[in-house]
Amino acid sequence: MSNPTKVQRRISSVQTMAMPFFLLLAILLHAAVRGNAQGVPRPVRITAVVAAGTGCRAATARLSPGGRSFNVSFRAFRASTPGSPVNRRKNCQAAVALSYPAGWQVSVSSVTARGAARLSRGVQGAAAVGYYVSGSAGTARALRNIVGPYNRWYTFTSRLSPVIFTPCGAGANINVNVEVRVVPGRAARASGVVSIGRSPTTFALTWKKC
Ligand SMILES: *[C@@H]1O[C@H](CO)[C@@H](O)[C@H](O)[C@H]1NC(C)=O
């Protein structure tokens, strides 16, 4: 049997070692809760959507109830080959006007785009999504390459980089661009179609205080 004072000493040394650990845990938890508390400002609204492009003439946008994402919906469009080179690239650009209380900034952290592709061997397709913010520098992009042979639906979720936040202020225009492309191969009877937009394109938002 071990000497009780020795055991006692061991317990108290475990306690003193444990102290900084629990302190650290408490600090981390506190930080996590504060991070959550930053959350989402209220109210957030989409006040207007103006869309145009070679692939669309109009679009609508809908904010998720919690304000952590919005969907952009437009009539599905496609890029295709063979045929006119004009058809190899189609896009839809939508200016989404967000309004929210002053003292916040928002950034699009990731995008989920959905579509279908049918590409013969040697044909390359791509879905590309980007955005810029009126009043902030830079354009953020995400790209999914699809290599033929391919014949099915695709769902593509990607971070957009670089990270671009709206300027501090109540509201901003987030200008998103959704695009599909095909690059014909050298094969004589190569063909390819990439479509996008049969279901909405989802933009996840990250909010922060100024
Ligand atoms: C956005 O679109 C996705 C895919 O169709 C859907 O699951 C989601 O419920 C939509 N969200 C909103 C807020 O409309």
Asked whether 111 and 149 are in contact (CB, 8 A), the reply is no
Every domain of the chain and the residues it spans:
1-38, 45-209
Q: Is the CB of 71 under 6 A from ligand 1?
A: yes
State the closest ligand 1 atom to the C-alpha of 69, by its place in the atom list counted from 1: 13
State the closest ligand 1 atom to the C-alpha of 199, by its place in the atom list counted from 1: 5
Q: Is the CB of 68 under 6 A from ligand 1?
A: no
pLDDT digits (tens, 9 = 90+) for 68-106: 999 999 999 999 999 999 999 999 999 999 999 999 999
Task: Determine what percent of the chain is predicted with pLDDT higher than 70.
Answer: 82
State the closest ligand 1 atom to the C-alpha of 71, by its place in the atom list counted from 1: 1
Could you tell me which CATH class the domain 45-209 is placed in?
mainly beta
Longest dimension (CA), the chain: 90
pTM value is 0.82
Q: Is the CB of 60 under 6 A from ligand 1?
A: no
